[in-house]
Structure 1
Amino acid sequence: MPPYMFANRAFCFSSCNAWCRVLRCRGIVACAKMRNQRRNAADFCTTRNPRRACSDGILFQEQPQIGNPYLEDALLRGYLKSHLPAQVFAEVNPDLERFGALVKDEIDPLGRECESQPPWLLQFDAWGRRVDEIVTCAAWKRMKEISAEEGLVAEAYERKHSNWSRIHQMAKVYLFTPASGFFSCPVAMTDGAAKVIESLGIPKYLEEAYARLTSRDAGRFWTSGQWMTERKGGSDVAGGTETVAQELPDGTYALRGFKWFTSAADSDVTLTLARIAAANGQVEEGTRGLSLFYVKLRDEEGNLNGIQIQRLKEKLGTRQLPTAELYLDGATAQRISKEGRGVAAIAAMLTVTRVHNAVTAVAGMRRAILLARDYAVKREAFGKCLAEHPLHMRTLARMEVEARGAFLLTMETARILGMQETQKATEEDRLMLRLLTPVVKLYTAKQAVAIASEALECFGGQGFMEDTGLAILLRDAQVLPIWEGTTNVLSLDVLRSLAKSRGKALDAFFAAAQAKMEPALGVTELEPSAQMVHEALRKLRNFAREMALKGEFTAQMAARDFAFTLARIYGGVLLLEHAAHCDATTVDAYAAQRWCRQDLCPIDAANEGGSYAMNAVSRDADLVFDGWPDPR
């Protein structure tokens, strides 16, 4: 197995505790002393390691390490302590500390094994019989067992902590995801499937499925896929779904069609869309023709249920995850939505999976920063360690501030989801959940890629080497802006949330922002930043009025900037709220101040610059197609 950088903490010299202290210090005054200790330790290691003693042509740098990710994440612990009721925190805190140790000691090595032993497809056995078996490594199978045993899905549905159960679950998923070899993907889709079944009232014929999807028993636990993408690809399921469902005499359906992109193709069950054929074979096109179906992948004898696996996909990242092209050739299925209401039925699933996408994004940011932080006190350049270079520390600080805002945006969305699930949400909360879900998903996904790219620079050339295990940070992050809706698709979804609520969702946004910032207005060091957010809110409100007058054309041009403005403003609001809490630190206050110094309302600057003028689209086209042969 390649010597991945994510190995467990292991040092061959006794001065390692000094390095651990450096990781927790606020300043860098100890770096010179640590550097001398490191040289002595390196000399000691050389005498013990013949390979290092023969140093010609061998690069030697100390690898970055991560210990218990829960104990190393001050923001996560601070957030839970300040938001959870005391009794809930008292129960959740030791569970997460224990789970963090499990991540370090067992899950992390398993994740590396999943990366080094990716899945492969056995289409035919030695005698020519088609078997279509996706072969996964033992580590991948163990990840499924751990997901069940740790309740990575079950925690949200047991509701032992009422509405706070979602926060507990997402905190565990946050710790699990970057070490999981992307088993977090089937966890997300399983959670989404359970949510759909629960939203349907758990009908009797789905009771077993729901029980298995939310089980803590590794022997009973099922994972679910999500098969929505067909040959035309993309998020336009209304225009791209060609799979046809033919009703059978017993009330089940036979599905026929091609599924072009199916993640976690080795799952036990799946949800998929199809068009029901009438007696004459005709189907209804568009959204109204789509119904939602539940499919078991295998029958009682273990044979595939009318499914042929055409091939596994070759991807830039997420190579640990089996993603396949499938042909449904009479797969037996049960319709679980009302006829023609398939898209409406998956709305609850999309909310859950988009929140998971955001959790994956912020977890990846945190992993990258923890590694870069550790490396900063180990790597020496130009006569001193990286942590003594002010520009490097400023770069890490920028990454940290971005990760903090993204984390709070994600957890706030998960908090409201938990309230909705336990019937504690107000109408304003429900409007905020509908608005924030696409905003948080699109924003955190884009920032995850940026942070991963910046992190690789922190390691110099080592960040570009596959055998260090660092490149995976960027490769896997790149899928996040694409899954569950691209940035532009989700930006338009933000507009739909406003249109469908007749502007009430935006009213709820303004009201929530004002209420959450109120405590910060009484704190001297936070008040200037709160005023910056107030000014950004004023500009946003003015633009929203202007957008309403100009109509849909302007709104669509501005949709992306509008969504990013919502994210930046609300990120500032949440950082201020967190910094104003009685348990907050000076670091929390500084993070809020740093966030609020950026342009919180980019849509205003773009508008002033004429970006949304009526001729902007034609000028954009001229720019893009400059030099392109005129198709006319």
Structure 2
Amino acid sequence: MSTAPTPLVTHEVTNQPPPLQDHNLFLSDPALQEGLEREGGGWARERSIEIGARWAGEPLRWGFQANANEPQLRPFDRFGHRIDEVEFHPAWHQLMAAGRADGLHALPWTDPRPGAHVARGVQYMTATQVEQGFACPTTMTFAAVPALRAQPELAAFWEPLLTSGGYDPELRPAGDKPGAVCGMAMTEKQGGSDVRANSTRAVPVGGAGEAGGEHLLTGHKWFCSAPMSDVFLVLARTGGDGTAADGISCFLMPRVLPDGSRNAIRLQRLKDKLGNRSNASSEIELHGAHGWMVGEPGRGVPTIIEMVAHTRLDCVYGSTAIMRWATSNAAWHAAHRQAFGRRLADQPLMRAVLADLGLELEASIALGLRLARAYDEAAVAESGADAEQARAFRRVATAIAKYHVCKRAPQLCFEALECLGGNGYVEESGLPRLYREAPVNSVWEGSGNVMALDVLRALARERGALDALVAELDLAAGADRRYDAFLARLRADLSDPATLEPRARSVVERLALALQASLLLRHAPAAVADAFVAGRLGEGGLQFGTLPAGLDLDPIVARATPPLAA
């Protein structure tokens, strides 16, 4: 008998796509490049190219590591002292530091020239493709700045720290650190989105409870995002004496007090979430925690609404980033995988699916960057008719985009995952993580019904909101008869306000589609605009890949596919 060892090789690995990595996330996306120039951020092109190259490298690995090694609550040290800390994997801190170094948390505040919001939107959508967890504290730090400006003396200290490019995860006084991170804590068990049901109390320290004054906060928060932040914006109930101060007020609550002692914030537990698992979300109790009032007493909701508006803007960006990475993976796989004698990407039914994913992505990018321009216009034109129209459009379009784009992301992620078949269902592909991640932006800062009703509220109460929206939609009038007919039906629906609330979701969905169609008809390649109008305003089905026949899909798929030489 032979004594030679039995060969262990059973097969050669073939017909598997190469890893999708080390390509430029910005330069591989025509819609992002075109949007940056079109909406006024072209001056940031070189910086966007640098970010596109950098985030396709090591950050991809950091995202996997941060999710595989989730944050851990450490309520006590080894000796039994209460410390209320959260321990993260080093990859988390690398993501946080990289995001801050690239200005994802601050660009419009540190370089407030025209187009700054557009530039940041492009760069945020580029970088957060690889991981969404670190985007939460990045967004809250960004969004806190306009809310803090309601209290100039607090903003004078905190804004330079929040907008700094430095990152230090240690818990110590913020004034001793190179930069600060901001979290938020609004919702409570009994209220959720109804923050006016909050029971947390704020008692003034040595004063009458005036704006900017120090208070002691006692109560609980059912969701506290990013509990290891240096400072939080929170809501608490003030007054109780029948004065104008009665109601909900906004407070700035530092994690560590200036003398180095820990503020009286107790972390009860970390949430075991569907997705966004690299990021810590917690339940907390406040045991007389020190906080300083931001804005007028009893006006906490209007004060913090600026933060909410900017977080909703980032929800649109984040969902678009998720859709970009999911679509890239689906198109990349189909371009390299053979089945039944030819590439998946060459098979008509697969091309229909890929093109449909590409359409959704193009429409979301166009709407998100048009929204960013409205934020730029509102900031630059501080007064006058242009500023009023920009603010009115920003108000209603933010809610419309937040509702629609964030709801489309989970559906697109599922379809993209299915393009990879069983390969897409395993964790190593990264697509299951995307699928779990996708719902968070729809839930956070106003779920579907809240956003749909907010659109109706804005149209009814905000001066000029309806006119600004109609003006934007009318810019594409006459470009396509199908669009004109869709717009006419939409106007008829809006003319009966008494029956709008039960139909709010349907109306807001169609407003979003009309906005996206208007933008694509004016700015996108003809094949993209024609297919979107046909599939979304006309005869398309409920599922991706059900576009009408006869459309030119090749250019759409090409725009969605990363360069094959990557």
Q: TM-score, normalised by structure 2?
A: 0.86
Residue 301 of structure 1 deviates from its aligned partner by: 5.9
Residue 573 of structure 1 deviates from its aligned partner by: 0.1
The aligned residue for residue 598 of structure 1 is 535
Larger radius of gyration: 1
Residues 474 and 221 (structure 1), Cα distance of their counterparts in 2 relative to 1, 3 Å cut: same
Contact 1:539 1:601 in 2 (8 A): no
Residue 599 of structure 1 deviates from its aligned partner by: 4.9
The aligned residue for residue 323 of structure 1 is 281
**Pairing partner for 1:243 from 193, 200, 225:** 200
Partner-residue secondary structure (3-state), 1:438: helix
Tell me the distance in 2 between the aligned counterparts of 1:188 and 1:434.
18
Task: Work out the number of aligned pairs and report it.
Answer: 515
Tell me the distance in 1 between the aligned counterparts of 2:85 and 2:409.
34
The aligned residue for residue 554 of structure 2 is none
**Pairing partner for 1:513 from 473, 477, 483:** 473
Tell me the distance in 2 between the aligned counterparts of 1:283 and 1:127.
47
The aligned residue for residue 116 of structure 1 is 68
For residues 526-581 of structure 1, give each alpha carbon's deviation from its aligned partner in whole angstroms, at most 9, with x where no partner exists: x4xx2221111111112222x13xx2xx21101111100100011000001113xx
Contact 2:39 2:370 in 1 (8 A): no
The aligned residue for residue 62 of structure 1 is 17
**Pairing partner for 1:483 from 437, 444, 468:** 444
Residues 599 and 142 (structure 1), Cα distance of their counterparts in 2 relative to 1, 3 Å cut: closer
**Pairing partner for 1:561 from 488, 500, 506:** 506
Residue 352 of structure 1 deviates from its aligned partner by: 0.5
Does residue 349 (structure 1) correspond to residue 307 (structure 2)? The answer is yes
Tell me the distance in 2 between the aligned counterparts of 1:243 and 1:351.
23
Residue 60 of structure 1 deviates from its aligned partner by: 7.7
Partner-residue secondary structure (3-state), 1:151: coil
Contact 1:119 1:321 in 2 (8 A): yes
The aligned residue for residue 405 of structure 1 is 363
The aligned residue for residue 557 of structure 2 is none
Q: Aligned letter for 2:26?
A: Y
Does residue 540 (structure 1) correspond to residue 498 (structure 2)? The answer is no
Q: Aligned letter for 1:289?
A: G
Q: Aligned letter for 1:183?
A: F
**Pairing partner for 1:75 from 31, 41, 52:** 31
Tell me the distance in 2 between the aligned counterparts of 1:289 and 1:601.
48
Q: Aligned letter for 1:543?
A: D
Q: Aligned letter for 2:446?
A: G
Residues 385 and 307 (structure 1), Cα distance of their counterparts in 2 relative to 1, 3 Å cut: same
For residues 148-198 of structure 1, give each alpha carbon's deviation from its aligned partner in whole angstroms, at most 9, with x where no partner exists: 2211122111235x2201111111111111223521111111111112123
**Pairing partner for 1:589 from 499, 514, 526:** 526
The aligned residue for residue 166 of structure 2 is 217
Q: Aligned letter for 2:488?
A: R
Query: Which segments of 5 or more consecutive residues in structure 2 lack a partner in the other structure?
Result: 1-6, 168-176, 208-212, 540-566
**Pairing partner for 2:374 from 409, 416, 428:** 416
**Pairing partner for 1:165 from 92, 98, 116:** 116
The aligned residue for residue 39 of structure 1 is none
Q: Aligned letter for 1:431?
A: A
Contact 1:64 1:375 in 2 (8 A): no
The aligned residue for residue 492 of structure 1 is 453
Q: Aligned letter for 2:33?
A: R
Residue 321 of structure 1 deviates from its aligned partner by: 0.3
Tell me the distance in 2 between the aligned counterparts of 1:506 and 1:203.
33
Structural mapping, 1:382-531, within 5 Å: 382-423=340-381, 425-501=386-462, 504-515=464-475, 517=476, 521=478, 527=479, 530-531=480-481
**Pairing partner for 2:338 from 374, 377, 380:** 380
Residue 432 of structure 1 deviates from its aligned partner by: 1.1
Tell me the distance in 2 between the aligned counterparts of 1:208 and 1:392.
55
Residue 205 of structure 1 deviates from its aligned partner by: 3.2
Q: Aligned letter for 1:538?
A: A
The structure with the largest helix share of the pair is 1
Contact 2:185 2:221 in 1 (8 A): yes
For residues 572-617 of structure 1, give each alpha carbon's deviation from its aligned partner in whole angstroms, at most 9, with x where no partner exists: 00001113xxxxxxxx211111111135399xxxxxxxxxxxxxxx
Residue 389 of structure 1 deviates from its aligned partner by: 1.1
Contact 1:64 1:372 in 2 (8 A): no
Partner-residue secondary structure (3-state), 2:537: coil
Tell me the distance in 2 between the aligned counterparts of 1:266 and 1:58.
45
Partner-residue secondary structure (3-state), 2:252: strand
Contact 2:472 2:515 in 1 (8 A): no
Contact 2:378 2:388 in 1 (8 A): no
Tell me the distance in 1 between the aligned counterparts of 2:460 and 2:145.
29
Partner-residue secondary structure (3-state), 1:595: helix
Return the structure number with greater relative CO, CA threshold 8 A, min gap 6.
2
Residues 311 and 333 (structure 1), Cα distance of their counterparts in 2 relative to 1, 3 Å cut: same
Residues 404 and 134 (structure 1), Cα distance of their counterparts in 2 relative to 1, 3 Å cut: same
Q: Aligned letter for 1:475?
A: R
Tell me the distance in 2 between the aligned counterparts of 1:350 and 1:271.
11
For residues 295-334 of structure 1, give each alpha carbon's deviation from its aligned partner in whole angstroms, at most 9, with x where no partner exists: 1011246543001111111011000001111011111000
Q: Aligned letter for 2:351?
A: M
Contact 1:273 1:293 in 2 (8 A): yes
Tell me the distance in 1 between the aligned counterparts of 2:282 and 2:12.
42
Contact 2:72 2:87 in 1 (8 A): yes
Query: Which segments of 5 or more consecutive residues in structure 1 lack a partner in the other structure?
Result: 1-51, 522-526, 580-587, 603-632
Residues 428 and 224 (structure 1), Cα distance of their counterparts in 2 relative to 1, 3 Å cut: same
The aligned residue for residue 155 of structure 1 is 107
The aligned residue for residue 142 of structure 1 is 94
Contact 2:493 2:507 in 1 (8 A): no
Partner-residue secondary structure (3-state), 2:500: helix
For residues 263-317 of structure 1, give each alpha carbon's deviation from its aligned partner in whole angstroms, at most 9, with x where no partner exists: 1111110100000154xxx7999x9610000010112465430011111110110
Residues 405 and 128 (structure 1), Cα distance of their counterparts in 2 relative to 1, 3 Å cut: same
Tell me the distance in 1 between the aligned counterparts of 2:14 and 2:73.
37
Residue 402 of structure 1 deviates from its aligned partner by: 1.0
The aligned residue for residue 340 of structure 1 is 298
Tell me the distance in 2 between the aligned counterparts of 1:207 and 1:578.
41
Cα RMSD after superposing both structures = 2.3
The aligned residue for residue 630 of structure 1 is none
Contact 1:569 1:601 in 2 (8 A): no
